[in-house]
């Protein structure tokens, strides 16, 4: 073990034994110092848990690199300082606070409420756990200048997080992100105002729920289809999280009457006792819901993650087998349906647009182009989709936006991905498809027949701790300096480096600038046969992510399995090309 590092973290840890820290924290730090094995001490103190561009996310525990009342407190104090500077002319600055089912989420929310109020900021605090999109909605509804939600989304149970939002209801982006980071970095523990002003804390709940659901109901495009198929069998699981009440309520508001719960997973718990990971991207997270669907001969399975911003679905294929629909396919179905129904109902006027992230399937562009609807490509992370909506507000009409990681937003009165509206609209799509004699699976395969086949695969290489972070950095440098000349035998025809905002066509040597709001550590390679590879380090987890997309064709629904098998062979060849 690095003796110099041990010495450095020991000195830093001893500062956490001072009187400004509570007895529980001091005891936990002392135990780490006394332990002969210094792994915990190093991991807890080798760096400060950064208030990054998405806020905080980390393992809970004592230490500068952990989620605890002091790291959360410093974040809230820094955000308070910035709000008081930014909105100095306002009589009353206000914020909304939400939280999910995780351990300490309520505690961190209460402490944050105290700190904001101690800094003279009015707080609207949700009475109980609520979805992330509802907190975003509340910021706009209540005219707040900011908002936070305590959640680590779909991370394992050891994690918690703190996401910060601006007055438009979207996550904080430039220039506010870096300015807030600067403020947070200036905060010392003794500066944190923990003693709240109860007069400035207002509890909110039911009235926001009702308004939120009624606004989502306005998104319905096929109410007659729902009337005809109101008894559609919908299995829904919140995976122990915040969707437990509001998503079934929203489905009922749309007119659906046959919502089948998974009782074991309706238990709200930060331990997520029935799953290894509460992530609807993981097949195991939907396994209990699929079993329930088999028992009840359901039409569709839907799941939301703990903070109900991501949605996962499962459908029956032509053989009656339940299959998972991935995030790219879900986004495809949403975009196809929305553009089709907007066109059929005469809502398309020529100034509409949709948004996707750069790592999401290019088939969405094909659908947009054919329907003469503008497409905006943005960085990974829903805050960039929200930024496009903000930029286009009052100029163009937003239809919807999505990303491959199971997030979609069909409304502009929320500015983050929304599993509440997504579940309601996906159920409506199933009813609409049924009107045409199709299952959701058949609707999806018909989209491939019409627009071409696409297969995507995400590969995450996990590199934990300090050494892992350095290794990921080096891998990105190596790919940038030595880009592949071919991918699975097809020559690379376009390279995009979002770190330098430069694109190059290797064959012709042509170069051009990429029009993006800021730089990002992402590399993309496009090959002649239509394959796309995107590489980026995760912003929230110790991973480097590879997003692979390969193309194919389908002449009819029956060719889906054949097209999938051919694409899987191609994906393996792409992975081999990348050394994965």
Burial class for 308, CB neighbours closer than 10 Å (0-12, 13-18, 19+): buried
CA 364, CA 362: separation in Å to the nearest integer? 5
Asked about 304 being catalytic, the answer comes back as: no
537's torsion region: left (phi>0), alpha (psi -120 to 50) or beta? beta
**Residue written as token pair 């194919």:** 552
Q: Using DSSP bridges, classify how beta strands 374-378 and 352-357 pair: parallel, antiparallel or unpaired.
A: parallel
- The closest of 51, 45, 4, 5 to 25, measured between CA atoms, is 45
The C-alpha atoms of residue 404 and residue 359 are separated, in whole angstroms, by 7
Torsion of Cα atoms, 421 then 427 then 433 then 437, to 10°: -170
Catalytically annotated residue among 153, 222, 527, 531: 153
The residue ranges of DSSP E strands in 229-316, in sequence order, are 234-237, 259-261, 300-304, 311-316
Give 3-state DSSP helix, strand, coil % of the chain, rounded to 5: 45, 20, 35
What is the DSSP-derived secondary structure letter of residue 169?
A: S
Q: Which two tokens stand for residue 188?
A: 């010392």
In angstroms, rounded to a whole number, what is the distance separating the alpha carbons of residues 150 and 130?
10
Residues written for the chain:
580
Q: What is the dihedral of CA 112, 113, 114, 117, to 10 degrees?
A: 120
Place of tokens 């059929």: 344
Q: Work out the widest C-alpha separation in the chain, in whole angstroms.
A: 72
Q: What are the structure tokens assigned to 345, written together?
A: 């109902």
Which residue numbers are catalytic?
153
């Amino acid at each position: 073990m690095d003796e110099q590092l041990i010495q450095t973290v020991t000195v830093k840890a001893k500062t956490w034994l001072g009187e400004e820290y509570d007895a529980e924290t001091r005891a936990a730090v002392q135990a780490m110092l006394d332990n002969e094995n210094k792994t915990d001490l190093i991991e807890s103190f080798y760096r400060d848990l950064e208030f990054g561009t998405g806020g905080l996310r980390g393992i809970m525990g004592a230490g500068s690199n952990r989620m605890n009342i002091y790291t959360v407190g410093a974040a809230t104090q820094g955000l308070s300082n910035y709000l008081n500077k930014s909105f100095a002319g306002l009589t009353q600055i206000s914020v909304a606070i939400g939280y999910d089912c995780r351990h300490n989420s309520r505690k961190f929310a209460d402490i944050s409420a105290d700190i904001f109020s101690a800094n003279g900021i009015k707080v609207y605090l949700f009475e109980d756990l609520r979805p992330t999109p509802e907190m975003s909605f509340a910021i706009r509804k209540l005219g707040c200048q900011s908002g936070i939600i305590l959640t680590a989304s779909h991370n394992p149970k050891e994690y918690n997080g703190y996401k910060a939002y601006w007055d438009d209801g979207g996550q904080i982006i430039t220039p506010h992100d870096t300015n807030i980071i600067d403020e947070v970095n200036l905060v010392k523990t003794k500066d944190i105002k923990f003693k709240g002003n109860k007069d400035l804390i207002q509890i909110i709940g039911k009235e926001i729920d009702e308004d939120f659901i009624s606004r989502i109901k306005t998104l319905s495009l096929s109410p007659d289809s729902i009337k005809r198929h109101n008894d559609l069998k919908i299995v829904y699981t919140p995976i122990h999280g915040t969707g437990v009440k509001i998503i079934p309520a929203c489905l009922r508001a749309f007119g659906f009457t046959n919502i089948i719960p998974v009782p074991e997973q309706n238990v709200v718990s930060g331990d997520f006792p029935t799953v290894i990971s509460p992530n609807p991207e993981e097949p195991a997270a939907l396994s209990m819901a699929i079993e329930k669907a088999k028992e009840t001969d359901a039409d569709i399975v839907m799941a939301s993650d703990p903070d109900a911003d991501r949605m996962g679905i499962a459908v029956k294929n032509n053989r009656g087998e339940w299959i998972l629909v991935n995030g790219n396919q879900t986004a495809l179905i949403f975009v196809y349906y929305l553009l089709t129904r907007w066109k059929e109902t005469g809502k398309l006027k020529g100034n509409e647009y949709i948004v996707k992230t750069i790592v999401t399937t290019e088939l969405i562009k094909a659908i947009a182009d054919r329907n003469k609807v503008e497409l905006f490509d943005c960085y990974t992370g829903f805050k960039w989709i929200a930024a496009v909506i903000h930029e286009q507000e009052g100029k163009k009409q937003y239809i919807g936006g999505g990303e491959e990681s199971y997030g979609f937003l069909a409304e502009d009165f929320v500015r983050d991905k929304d599993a509440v509206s997504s579940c309601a609209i996906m159920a409506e799509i199933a009813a609409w498809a049924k009107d045409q004699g199709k299952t959701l699976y058949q609707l999806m395969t018909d989209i491939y027949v019409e627009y071409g086949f696409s297969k995507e695969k995400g590969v995450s290489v996990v590199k934990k701790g300090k050494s892992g972070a350095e290794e990921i950095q080096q891998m990105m440098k190596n790919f940038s300096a030595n880009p592949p000349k071919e991918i699975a035998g097809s020559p690379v025809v376009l390279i995009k480096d979002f770190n330098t905002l430069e694109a190059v066509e290797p064959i012709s040597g042509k170069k051009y600038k990429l029009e993006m709001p800021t730089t990002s550590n992402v590399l993309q390679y496009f090959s002649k046969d239509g394959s796309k590879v995107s590489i980026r380090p995760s912003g929230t987890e110790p991973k480097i992510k590879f997003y692979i997309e390969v193309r194919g064709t389908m002449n009819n629904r029956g060719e889906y399995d054949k097209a999938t098998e051919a694409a899987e062979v191609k994906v393996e060849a792409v992975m081999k090309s990348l050394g994965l």
